[in-house]
Structure 1
Amino acid sequence: MAVNPATAWPTLPVRPDPATDAVLASGLIEELSYAFGGPFHILLPDAFDTNLGAMRAALDEAGVDGFVYYAKKANKAALWVERCAVHGAGVDVASAGELREALGHGVRGEHLVVTGPAKGRDLLLLALRHGALIAVDALDELDTLITTALTGTVRPARLLLRCLPPTQPHSRFGMHDAELSTAMARCVQAGDAVRMEGFSFHLSGYAVQPRTDLAGHLVDLCLKARARGLKAGCVSIGGGLAVSYTDADSWHTFLDEQNSNHYHAGKSFRTGDFYPYHSPAAGADALRALLAAHPEGHGRSLATLLKDSGVALLLEPGRALLDRAGATVFRIQGVKDRDGYQLLTVEGTSLSLSEQWFNSEYLPDPYLFSQSADTPASGTWPASIGAATCLETDMLTWRKVPFRRRPRIGDLLVYPNTAGYQMDSNESPFHDLPLPPKVVVESTSRRPRWRLDRHPPS
């Protein structure tokens, strides 16, 4: 296959990750690929613990009373809920199944927050019985909750009122100011049946200042709610703390260079549909930036405003707690030569990587590992990667990734840093292909040891 060495092939390398590199260097992934006979995910609990500790440290540094909930939707593995139970963190759930899963893995009921729209009575009743905090999305939901609390539960309903972001007025989530005022009146009227603990919101995107502005507005609402006799002692900012997968130069160079010629079948993407794979303030640093910024209309930082008002900050990160906490492995089972590039087919489906949801794709460069003793000659070998299914559009990577050597059947492709949303948000047993198992990998002094998720050590 002729490859034009003068062609510029955009790349997107991930930031250094010694923990993942150590697993890859150990030879474990080759053993696991043989054992499972298909794609699989590796999970790294130490990274989750580190990210959670960094979030808590950011709150402590700012002197802000706060609580971190893990947004369970970001990854269905039991491991992360187990880590929350060990460390006394919370879990953000949006269904009865997720709630039961969190309870079953040791998370206390009062450490759960129930989000999502139009919650059914069964979910509300389960949350009430276990003392979970409930983010109420609409007035009819509030009425259902109050009625349920008044007829047969032994605890008051702990709730937040979810705000419709003024900057995103077309969102289908939350209540506008007039509805919030009505909701507060109904909470007052309900008396001891409810405990209105504050307000919540979730903003699309990852910008810091809009979150600070809306959090400041909700602190003001807490003070107004207290004047009406409500507890109103906390504000939840939801998630939206970015993860920075790559460095600034790599990201901006990629955006400048990439075009439809760099994708299989001339596929094109709107750059605005790509996740922002670099962010100047990410994870715990994004939280620090948010706390240090001044909300609109206030002459002091959000941290100072929270402290002066006696309001706690709740947050529900998902992806940010899973940064560098896992990777996904596929085996190559077919190679075709095309005009100037290769088309690889791997075991499994692209639905194990979820950016297809957004008419986008997961952009960080996969690693190529040879299982052959005779390593092929080095060079530039661009290749796009498709799944073992009968759909033209079932592509893991439309982009022609420039590998340093020629991919071959039996080689492994490792997609780095996939724990946040990529592993299972869109998975499907299409063609009766099994869902990729999740493997918990723990560091030891000799070599990594592993177990299947949902089979914790005794």
Structure 2
Amino acid sequence: MPPLMHGTLPMTARLEPWMESLVQDPELCKELLSDYGSPLNVHDYSSMARNVAELRDAAAVHDIDFQIYLARKANKTLGAIDKAVAEGCGVDVASFNELDQCLRRGVSPESLIVTAAVKSRALLKLAVENDVVLSLDNTDEVMDLLELTTSDGTPVPVALRLASSNAAIAPTRFGLSAQQWLDFFAQIHSPEVFSIVGVHFHLNGYSGEQRALVLQESLEFADALAQLGHKVKFVDMGGGIPMSYLDDSQQWSGFWEALAEVPEGDESLTWKSDRLGATGPQASTALYPYHQELIRGPWLEKILIARGADGSQTVGQMLNARGIQLRCEPGRSLLDGCGLTLSEVAFTKERNDGVSLVGLHMNRTQCRSTAADFLVDPILIKASGRHANDRSPYSGFLVGAYCIEEELILRRRFEFPQGVAKGDVVAFPNTGGYLMHIIESASHQLPLAKNVVLDGANASLDDIDQVGAGH
């Protein structure tokens, strides 16, 4: 059956079976929105087991010690924590509340790591009190820790965030070079306060080749720390593990090829001919590659078989030779297939120059990450009732609730071959990783979207939306 909604140039989403069942049940979708409001984030975490297994299977081939930590910032639900722990994963936290909720949820301290880019004193204190590993980013954080701890207590477990010195790696705001760390710790007179148990790094983008290079650099840093008496137990390569929202590579490449040819001011594909970050110096950071060929397990496999500069050992062999665990902190890749967002159509109208608009009961922060746009096609679910049969083909843009001209839910143009009407439902597939929560806003005092966990036709609020969430 042809879709009821698609981009002028389609980008067809890959759907999990539970998503297909939900969007084929208009009455359930309407009931959920009636009960919990629009928009609504719907979760089913069953896909996480498959995603975890793909990574673990790749690591097992090389017989390396390997652990996965769910990037909590990618999805705020407590159900995601529960599922990650049930799958034997740890959790990467980035704030006091994230750490506090995990501890209250019963996540063991040894299964947690704090990687916050900016760490409050309260966060540092909570981590120290619970013996949770802290990934230290800079020397000011070290000095804060020295003020919070004493040399007669248990050493604080820390990982040092490494900023690569490799000229092939782009500059980063995260961490310090190995030499900066070594010079700093050589000057500290209370080294017994710290137990340096790990090396951690954060790379922008999704390059496996770059991660292989920085993993080798991290292992060399671990060797230098060992000479100072520190036993490094793990190297953590952070997140950025690829996954793919689309199965059709030609749809993905074809869209960008066509968009590059659109004249300025032509709105046949995007609002005001928006290039969606595809041009200019910031293009690489403005776009998330919604179609990728090499994902999860095969991507990790290429890293582990990469060889060092002298060609004598692979990355996997280097890890094994040192007895060092490899860790990673996926967000999207673990949450692939775990979430979908529903929204109700509020109105249809025309801009005063005749461009057609479809208004939704949501705002643009509720289906958006830090990338330029959400680049898969939503799904239209027709409502029954008085608007069901009064329809004609429609072409236009999705707009939201904020009182600004640029309040676009998505900036691509969409086609509705059988029309669209007030009361219909628009489903945004695969929004569980970053797209629901990372920049959501309650501006205008509009409420944040509720989060429900779906079990067949039964839905229940996630505990994050209950009174006293996480306590």
TM over 0.5: yes
The counterpart of 1:292, out of the listed 302, 305, 309, is 305
Instruction: Please name the residue that 1:389 is paired with.
Output: 402
SS at match of 2:113: strand
Q: Would you say the 8 A contact 2:391–2:421 is kept in 1?
A: no
SS at match of 1:45: coil
Instruction: Please name the residue that 1:302 is paired with.
Output: 315
Instruction: Please name the residue that 1:363 is paired with.
Output: 375
Separation in structure 2 between the aligned mates of residue 57 and residue 169 of structure 1, nearest angstrom: 30
Range with bigger deviation, 432-441 or 220-229: 220-229
Instruction: Please name the residue that 2:59 is paired with.
Output: 59
1:385 Cα shift?
0.2
Q: Would you say the 8 A contact 1:293–1:302 is kept in 2?
A: yes
Q: Aligned residues, how many?
A: 441
Instruction: Please name the residue that 1:354 is paired with.
Output: 368
Instruction: Please name the residue that 1:270 is paired with.
Output: 277
1:116 Cα shift?
2.3
Q: Would you say the 8 A contact 1:9–1:400 is kept in 2?
A: yes
Separation in structure 2 between the aligned mates of residue 168 and residue 212 of structure 1, nearest angstrom: 11
**Deviation per residue, 1:112-136 (Å, 9 max, x gap):** 1111234233221211111111111
Q: Would you say the 8 A contact 1:149–1:194 is kept in 2?
A: no
Q: Kindly provide the amino acid, as one letter, of the partner of residue 272 in structure 2.
A: A
Separation in structure 2 between the aligned mates of residue 145 and residue 296 of structure 1, nearest angstrom: 37
| Structure 2 residue 331 is matched with structure 1 residue 331 | no
Range with bigger deviation, 278-287 or 408-417: 278-287
SS at match of 1:67: strand
Instruction: Please name the residue that 1:406 is paired with.
Output: 419
1:93 Cα shift?
1.0
Q: Would you say the 8 A contact 1:128–1:155 is kept in 2?
A: no
Separation in structure 1 between the aligned mates of residue 240 and residue 117 of structure 2, nearest angstrom: 18
Q: Gaps (5+ residues) in structure 1?
A: 1-7
SS at match of 1:270: coil
Separation in structure 2 between the aligned mates of residue 297 and residue 115 of structure 1, nearest angstrom: 33
Report matched runs for 1:29-40 at 5 Å: 29-40=29-40
Instruction: Please name the residue that 1:214 is paired with.
Output: 214
Separation in structure 1 between the aligned mates of residue 74 and residue 396 of structure 2, nearest angstrom: 29
Instruction: Please name the residue that 1:148 is paired with.
Output: 148
| Structure 2 residue 190 is matched with structure 1 residue 181 | no
Task: Report which structure shows greater RCO (CA 8 Å, sep ≥6).
Answer: 2
Report matched runs for 1:56-455 at 5 Å: 56-150=56-150, 154-166=153-165, 167-168=168-169, 170-185=171-186, 190-247=190-247, 248-258=249-259, 259=262, 260-261=266-267, 262-271=269-278, 272=283, 273-337=286-350, 342-355=356-369, 357-358=370-371, 360-372=372-384, 381-442=394-455, 447-454=456-463
Q: Kindly provide the amino acid, as one letter, of the partner of residue 399 in structure 1.
A: R
Instruction: Please name the residue that 2:14 is paired with.
Output: 15
Separation in structure 1 between the aligned mates of residue 417 and residue 10 of structure 2, nearest angstrom: 12
Q: Gaps (5+ residues) in structure 2?
A: 1-6
SS at match of 1:307: helix
Q: Would you say the 8 A contact 2:211–2:237 is kept in 1?
A: yes
Structure 1 residues 110 and 214 mapped into 2: Cα distance closer, same or farther (>3 Å)?
same
Separation in structure 2 between the aligned mates of residue 297 and residue 108 of structure 1, nearest angstrom: 40
Separation in structure 2 between the aligned mates of residue 368 and residue 137 of structure 1, nearest angstrom: 45
Q: Would you say the 8 A contact 1:200–1:236 is kept in 2?
A: yes
Q: Kindly provide the amino acid, as one letter, of the partner of residue 219 in structure 1.
A: L
Q: Would you say the 8 A contact 2:151–2:192 is kept in 1?
A: no
Range with bigger deviation, 79-88 or 383-392: 79-88
1:298 Cα shift?
4.3
1:199 Cα shift?
0.9
1:191 Cα shift?
4.5
Q: Would you say the 8 A contact 1:342–1:382 is kept in 2?
A: yes
Separation in structure 2 between the aligned mates of residue 450 and residue 184 of structure 1, nearest angstrom: 52
Q: Kindly provide the amino acid, as one letter, of the partner of residue 344 in structure 1.
A: V
Structure 1 residues 379 and 206 mapped into 2: Cα distance closer, same or farther (>3 Å)?
farther
Separation in structure 2 between the aligned mates of residue 128 and residue 12 of structure 1, nearest angstrom: 47
1:254 Cα shift?
1.4
Measured on the aligned residues, the alpha-carbon RMSD in Å equals: 2.4
1:340 Cα shift?
7.8
Q: Kindly provide the amino acid, as one letter, of the partner of residue 270 in structure 1.
A: G
Separation in structure 2 between the aligned mates of residue 149 and residue 169 of structure 1, nearest angstrom: 35
Separation in structure 2 between the aligned mates of residue 29 and residue 284 of structure 1, nearest angstrom: 34
Structure 1 residues 132 and 405 mapped into 2: Cα distance closer, same or farther (>3 Å)?
same
Separation in structure 2 between the aligned mates of residue 143 and residue 389 of structure 1, nearest angstrom: 43
**Deviation per residue, 1:384-427 (Å, 9 max, x gap):** 10002211111111211123321111110001100111101111
Q: Would you say the 8 A contact 1:159–1:197 is kept in 2?
A: yes
1:283 Cα shift?
2.5
Separation in structure 2 between the aligned mates of residue 61 and residue 246 of structure 1, nearest angstrom: 28
Structure 1 residues 295 and 147 mapped into 2: Cα distance closer, same or farther (>3 Å)?
farther
**Deviation per residue, 1:336-383 (Å, 9 max, x gap):** 14678631000121110224x44x111100000101268559986322
Q: Kindly provide the amino acid, as one letter, of the partner of residue 458 in structure 2.
A: R
Structure 1 residues 435 and 193 mapped into 2: Cα distance closer, same or farther (>3 Å)?
same
Separation in structure 1 between the aligned mates of residue 453 and residue 56 of structure 2, nearest angstrom: 24
Q: Would you say the 8 A contact 2:15–2:337 is kept in 1?
A: no
1:267 Cα shift?
3.0
Separation in structure 2 between the aligned mates of residue 10 and residue 86 of structure 1, nearest angstrom: 40
Query: Percent same amino acid at aligned positions?
Result: 27
Instruction: Please name the residue that 1:3 is paired with.
Output: none
Q: Kindly provide the amino acid, as one letter, of the partner of residue 443 in structure 2.
A: F
Superposition TM-score, scaled by structure 2 size: 0.87
